[in-house]
Structure 1
């Protein structure tokens, strides 16, 4: 979620025109007139090729990479009538979103066509409002994983012609091999076609790069469930056992209360379970995890990739990292699951937490629990203690095995709260 201030655009509004696979014939009169009136026409080679030669605008093919070049490229033509071509709806994972972030909505005049998602749902008879869409254009394919659930329907915007096959293999590896995949190519155009197969049976050769994949999920009932709700099974996390266990993890995420687009600092990452579940709660959520041991940083990266949130940032020890990066963005929430008794850890976290942010700390030793009591006495908040028992075999019977009790302090940093640290 970007908070950058838009650049000032001094020229006429930039026209952003969506064009589908049906090309020029599919454009309405307003869109045709807008393209025909342009002096400079931007787009991909494929998009520019859909515009007839009678349009006399100077045609500029997008460079690669595009984003760093955009401000200078468009600024070079300030004062001219500019038109940018986009695929379908420019505001649906399209160039229109990028331009709005760069220059603001008032600098644009957007004329959309139906998006690929709208066309796909129209062909399949699905409700567009109830169908999640995941883009893997410029993103890891594993971003699909948090959306998977038995009998759920979703759409995947493909990166290229190889995405359907790679997606089928991914589903098979993660217990969704029985899912039905429908690849829809060149939607709305004369070459439109559909192909439906089960993921485990996908053997079709690469087709058209302009495609979208519809998935009807079918989960293997023998595999652990992995939904967006907190409290994933412990066995889904690899590592050395340094892990906030399932029950306490669910309670901890509830106290952290993630909201869409928020940033978490996970201090003492261990296996990365808190940061991972925070990011799985919503696609826009972000997390930075701090872990001093290199082997654990590697296991956090592996777990994050396997659970569909590879965008988590992984750093070393908190104070050392902050000394090198004093400009780090203040988080919306902080979880301290390790290193509580190290000098300066809670002080650094409290100082960097933004007003209105939440801090949650878990303790399993008497020393760290004492520290939480001191901070709670000075800053307020809520103290809780959890004792979890799990049923385990005892001969032919079942016994309740206690887990380590966990003390938890959770607090909201308000604007008028006294920020002095308690005596240690």
Structure 2
């Protein structure tokens, strides 16, 4: 690998560690290669970046961001939480189960772990503390659960993966579902363990109502909210729409539900949601633009092939090679969020995956679980730090809880997903005939 590529990689890492915004960090890395590399006329890079940004598939990303913000501000997320609380809240640690499930659902629709932390964390962390949960634990559970946004469809991260690698997006949606369900079960198990050591108040049905009546009443109030993910997934897997069209349907569905049925969102608030979603989308598009440039430059420098050669120098054993791939992905996940990680890692590692003989659909599940683990793994753990800000929790006790989730929940699922192909290939074969 050339010394310029190594220096450029170190520049990118240094910019990220210093806290420079991710899009600008990629822009800096591109600028170093353009200025000091032997590229000649670098105008072709503009076309590479624009070609990615203008793809019809990318339109789905701002639409899912908008749908997630509408859920958060329009009362849809609140009603999902209340319904789940009516079912699980009477159990020991039930509110923690509510956090895991609702964060997974919300994160899947919004497609981003940070959105899930911001939306669910602001609602659930104060509620959990009020019920007797330790604040650091409540915040840690929200952070760990938010990463399920990468695994539970419709996931924006898997749209990006399918688009970057040329893999079926429907198959990429399906591949991480079983690993995601395993994570949900493990999170629920460890939540029960931690909750048993806390003095927690159980949820009680309102006066004059039986628990069943409470569930039925909350379910009726949440019926429109529950229909939203069903509509999206039904349209995609029923072959009625593409993921992009399903995202548009989600937005069209969420606006009248928020404005006219739940009435938690006013017209003035709707414009604020549009504005915030546009800001988020703008940052994302800048990131995609510069990441596409950077990826093109790495491809021109044969970096993917050089990474393959380095891995093969260590070992030609597929088990060892897969372990190296996992370590590489975890390190990327520790440095940057999932969108940046996928844009960088997927094209770089795809030649390695093909050399091993792995199905790119299985690699979709591997990259999702690994990047998710990196997002919450100390010492960097960007999602953990973001959650600490949202939950106003001390970081030191959060690390103790998070290490349990990482080593006794996430790591086993990462290894199972890597070495048992059927976990990620079963559903694509069953539903899509792959």
TM-score, normalised by the number of residues in structure 1: 0.21
The structure that is strand-richer by fraction is 1
Higher Cα Rg, which structure: 1
The structure that is helix-richer by fraction is 2
